[in-house]
Amino acid sequence: MKNFIISLFFCLSFSEEIIDGVMAVVGENIITKGEFFYQLSSIANQRGISPSQTPLKYEKLANAVLEDIIDRYVLLEYAKMDSNIVVDNDEVQLQLDNQIDMFIQSVGSIDSLETTFGKPLQQIKADYWEEIYNAMLIERFRLNLTAGFVVGKKEVESFYNIYKDSLPPSPASANFSLYNINFTPSEKTIISTYENVKTIRDSIAKDLSSFENMVKKYSDDVASIPTEGIIGYTERGSLFPEYEEAAYSMKAGEISDPVLTEAGYHIIKLLDKRGEKINTQHLLWLVNATENDKKQTIENINEIYKQSSEDPLFLENHIEQLENKNFLSGNFFNQPINRFPIDIYNKITSSEDSFLHEPFMMQDGSVSILYVYEYFPEKRATLENSYAFIESIALDKKTLDYLDAWLDKKRNGVYINTFE
């Protein structure tokens, strides 16, 4: 991950050095030479292609990379025009926070991250926010285009007969139980944070004109800081339920008491209400786990590990009884392990015997316990031993073929201009 951050820093720096060098324009989007050459050099290095040693391959790859970037922006233009494709700001914020946390853990501190990128943390977040938003918008549009696609048995068999000699091996899989938990704030921390936010709210109430300055000074919502906390008009159901419950009950000009949502505490100001649409301004304060909270979480997970070591079924039963487990936690049967974070992959492949792994830290800062019951190494894919795997590849090809055909028809509907 650290190498990734350094590479990304190189990309941003490279782009800034030749920001005036435009490679192409797609709709309202400019593809800089920095963006193009970074992606080209990354893929060329991975494939061992050099402009000096393999010039023809390099030229062919360059054309393919530029076409791929252009196609992504074509998809983005159509996604923006599709009213059915919605990406909520809170979703972007959550993914942004997770990404930044991973960066900080990789380089060791916020100061190190700012040194690596050559800019303050707030600017790093602002730069990333739009990238994440666009990526989510494109992905949802792609999924919407191919929703409902399936491949029948005859299609799978035909695909296998054509490509069986070039298919990748069926990935390693395992039967295992995984319990993953994030460090969460205690009730005491939540109350303490509320009191801090309430102090800010009371200060704003005495001088409503100070709201904008308070947003710039305290808000953790990077996306809305440039607009002084103004979110704009949103329809009912597009924001957190607790946020909307407070906002819809207010009169224009009023500010709320601190409102707790999954994102943290909000101070909300209702600017306008038009039927089922509201325009709000807000300040977000994240509720982070304290060191004592983290210590308690570790003690709890150590107790689960102890009981699991005494009873092989304890962890499996504990996971089944969880009401609010996260997306990583679960009991998995014959599950391809390449879909899991590298932390989990490496632990599972470290032994072919069943084992219980002691609690360990993940790269994202969470903690996990892993019980591997059976491990199956990768193998040559055949219809008999890897039908589901081959079916998924056949479906991917069908989907990509459709998207390629769709793009061939739709490119003319978007302004595209490339430069030498």
pLDDT at 17 over 70: no
What is the model's pLDDT at position 351? 83
Query: Helix or strand or coil: residue 47?
Result: helix
The average pLDDT across 330-351 equals 90
Q: Which of 11-15, 41-45, 67-71, 376-380 has the lowest mean pLDDT?
A: 11-15
For residue 218 the two structure tokens come to 């305290």
pLDDT score of 98: 79
Band (146; pLDDT cuts 50, 70, 90): very high
pLDDT > 90 fraction of the chain, expressed in percent and rounded: 56
The yes-or-no verdict on residue 68 having pLDDT over 80 is yes
DSSP of 193-228: HHHHHHHHHHHHHH-GGGHHHHHHHH---GGGGGGT
Average pLDDT estimate for 179-192: 91
Query: Any idea which fold 2-145 has?
Result: Triger factor/SurA peptide-binding fold (1.10.4030)
Place 383 in a pLDDT band, splitting at 50, 70 and 90.
very high
396 token code pair: 């991917």
Kindly report which listed range (88-102, 271-285, 331-345, 348-362) carries the lowest average pLDDT score.
88-102
CATH code for residues 187-285? 3.10.50.40
At residue 252, what are phi and psi to the nearest 5 degrees? -55, 130
Across 34-38, 63-67, 103-107, 246-250, least confident range: 103-107
The yes-or-no verdict on residue 365 having pLDDT over 90 is no
pLDDT greater than 90 at residue 111: no
Q: Which of 313, 275, 283 is nearest to 202 (CA)?
A: 283
Q: CATH number for the 173-184+290-376 domain, one of 1.20.950, 3.10.50, 3.40.50, 3.10.310? A: 3.10.50
Higher pLDDT: 106 or 344? It is 344
| Mean pLDDT to the nearest integer, 140-144 | 94
- Residue 66 CA to residue 72 CA, distance in Å, equals 10
Same fold, 173-184+290-376 and 187-285: yes
- Whether 221 shows a pLDDT value over 80: the answer reads yes
Q: Is pLDDT of 6 > 70?
A: no
Higher pLDDT, 160 or 338: 160
Q: Does the structure show a pLDDT above 50 at 118?
A: yes
Alpha carbon of 245 to those of 82, 259, 268: distances in Å? 28, 10, 11
CA 148 from centroid of its chain's CA atoms: 24
pLDDT at 347 over 70: yes
Instruction: Say what the pLDDT of residue 20 is.
Output: 52
Average pLDDT, the chain: 87
The pTM (predicted TM-score) of the whole model is: 0.58
Residue 12 pLDDT exceeds 70: no
Reply yes or no on whether the pLDDT at 4 is more than 80: no
The tens digit of pLDDT for each residue in 307-318 reads 999 998 999 999
pLDDT at res. 9: 37
Query: Is the pLDDT reported for residue 370 higher than 60?
Result: yes
Q: What is the mean pLDDT of residues 10-25?
A: 57
pLDDT at 102 over 80: no
What distances in angstroms separate CA 30 from CA 36, 248, 303, 408, one per listed residue? Answer: 11, 39, 54, 21
* Span 21-28, average pLDDT: 91
Q: Contact at 8 Å (CB) between 190 and 184?
A: no
- What pLDDT does 407 receive? 95
Q: Could you tell me the residue ranges of all domains in the chain?
A: 2-145, 173-184+290-376, 187-285
Q: Cα dist. 97→121, 129, 405 in Å?
A: 11, 10, 36
